[in-house]
Amino acid sequence: MKFQCPRGTRDFYPPAMAVRSWIFDLWKQVSLRNGFEEYDGPIFESLDLYRVKSGDEIVSELFHFCDRGDREFAIRPEMTPTIARMVAAQANGLARPVKWFSMPRLCRAERPQRGRLREFFQWNIDILGEDSVLADAECIFVAADFFQATGLTYEQFYIKVNSRALLAAILQRGEFDEACLPAVYAALDKRDKVSADAFAKIVSELNLPTEQADTLISLGDAKGDEGLTTVRKLVAGHEVGEAKLAEIEHLFELLTAMGVGDCCRFDMGVVRGLAYYTGVVFEAFGKGGLQRAICGGGRYDNLLREVGGPPMSGTGFATSDVVIEDVLKEFGALPGYEPVLDFFVIDADADLFDTVLSLSAKLRRLGFATGFSYKRQAVGKQFKQAANKRAARVVIVETNTREADIVSVKDMATGVQKNISISSLLNAPTQLLA
């Protein structure tokens, strides 16, 4: 019988694992240098935790099961409910703002497609307990910081920013019926994926009054500075709308001060699909052929209360290793797979292999990646093995090693080779690698 990994999952052979580790390392570096602390939670949670956040319809998108006590659980599809539950449990004892990050393995029971699999790893950045848009600005900055850390430039990615609260104020002023709001949000969310004519058709199918349909068309086209001008006209004289507009204008001032304003733009078409977003929302996109968001998030100010905690604001974003790898591959920004050893120790005579093992062990204890050949074979074949392993230096244990404590060290990049005592090698190996 022949077995394969389940559809929508991946095997990580060493080259793929190297890419994954590189992405993880960048996630962690960017998180820590921006002042976030790492956390994690269980691989499965109560199914009701996801129902509270997203409604009963979420169940069909989850891998869920009952335990022996008929309790319903689900393998985690995201981390926002988990962080909300964890923070709610210790809210009174946590210094605010809470700035946490995680890199969990997640699962979703959905159809695999480019940029989206059933099993994936996700980078989560969250700030809880800070009401001002400064927290939103910092989250957006962290996202931009990561994309630049991968080597992407502003010519290769950008971030769209909007406010669900601002949109709600405009719709409220336009007296949109509460029952039609989900369809209005869904229509706006499709704006960038369709032509102007196709969007107009989507709007016409909502059967809105003419004035409301015109407003929705205007909102769909409200992008950049011109879009903000459009919105100013729509909220003029409306107290709540003007306050929410001032909030997002201040957000862009903060982003400019933080040096990432040039990669961010206002776009009223960003609404995010989840109902729990209450304020600023944003999505990052690559300027290539991958026609989907590569990062997304926003403010969720009611979630902690919904999972049994005190009222506490929250904002954050997430992205997956799948979509990040896709966009980096598209722009040729992925690192090559190069297994690297600091040293490869060779024996010129099989009788010297015990010295090879002893020297290799000592170099490893000093913190240097060191290899040797499992087979006793000719020096040339061992050199070839060292080259295959991308060894920086080769140490040759020769006949006079035992007598004179001398080994030959070769720099594989320059070809320079010299004799050195073992004691000197062990006392200052870094000089040889410099």
**Matching residue, tokens 């630049």:** 148
The beta-strand segments (E) located in 200-278 are: 264-266
| Domain ranges (residues) in the chain | 14-37+82-100+129-330, 341-433
% of residues, the chain, pLDDT over 90: 75
Name the pLDDT band for 434 (thresholds 50, 70, 90). Answer: low
| DSSP class of 180 | G
Arithmetic mean of pLDDT, 230-249 = 94
The sign of the dihedral angle between the CA atoms of 104, 105, 111, 114 is positive
* Higher per-residue pLDDT: 68 or 303: 68
Q: What is the pLDDT of residue 136?
A: 98
Q: What is the pLDDT of residue 28?
A: 98
| H or E segment to which residue 192 belongs | none
The sign of the dihedral angle between the CA atoms of 184, 226, 265, 292 is positive
* pLDDT tens figures, 294-320: 999 999 998 888 888 888 999 999 999
Q: What is the pLDDT of residue 186?
A: 86
Query: Of how many residues is the chain composed?
Result: 434
Q: Is the pLDDT of residue 126 over 80?
A: yes
The beta-strand segments (E) located in 144-194 are: 157-163
Pull the structure tokens for residue 381: 């074949």
Q: Is the pLDDT of residue 432 over 70?
A: no
Angle at 139 between CA 108 and CA 20, to 5 degrees: 50
* pLDDT tens figures, 131-140: 999 999 999 9
Q: What is the pLDDT of residue 224?
A: 94
Name the pLDDT band for 194 (thresholds 50, 70, 90). Answer: confident
* pLDDT tens figures, 394-406: 999 998 887 888 9
Highest mean pLDDT among 49-58, 123-132, 196-205: 123-132
**Matching residue, tokens 């070839």:** 384
Arithmetic mean of pLDDT over the chain: 92
**Nearest of 298, 297, 295, 282 to residue 27 by alpha carbon:** 295
C-alpha span between 326 and 332 (Å, rounded): 10
Q: What is the pLDDT of residue 40?
A: 98
Q: What is the pLDDT of residue 365?
A: 97
Q: What is the pLDDT of residue 246?
A: 97
Name the pLDDT band for 54 (thresholds 50, 70, 90). Answer: confident
Q: Is the pLDDT of residue 20 over 60?
A: yes
Distances (CA, A) of 38 to 15, 53, 343: 26, 23, 34
> What's the pTM value of the predicted model, to 2 decimals?
0.91
Q: The CATH number of 341-433 is which of 3.40.50.800, 2.60.120.260, 3.50.50.60, 3.40.50.1100?
A: 3.40.50.800
Name the pLDDT band for 288 (thresholds 50, 70, 90). Answer: confident
Q: The CATH number of 14-37+82-100+129-330 is which of 2.102.10.10, 3.40.50.10310, 3.40.50.300, 3.30.930.10?
A: 3.30.930.10
* Higher per-residue pLDDT: 306 or 357: 357
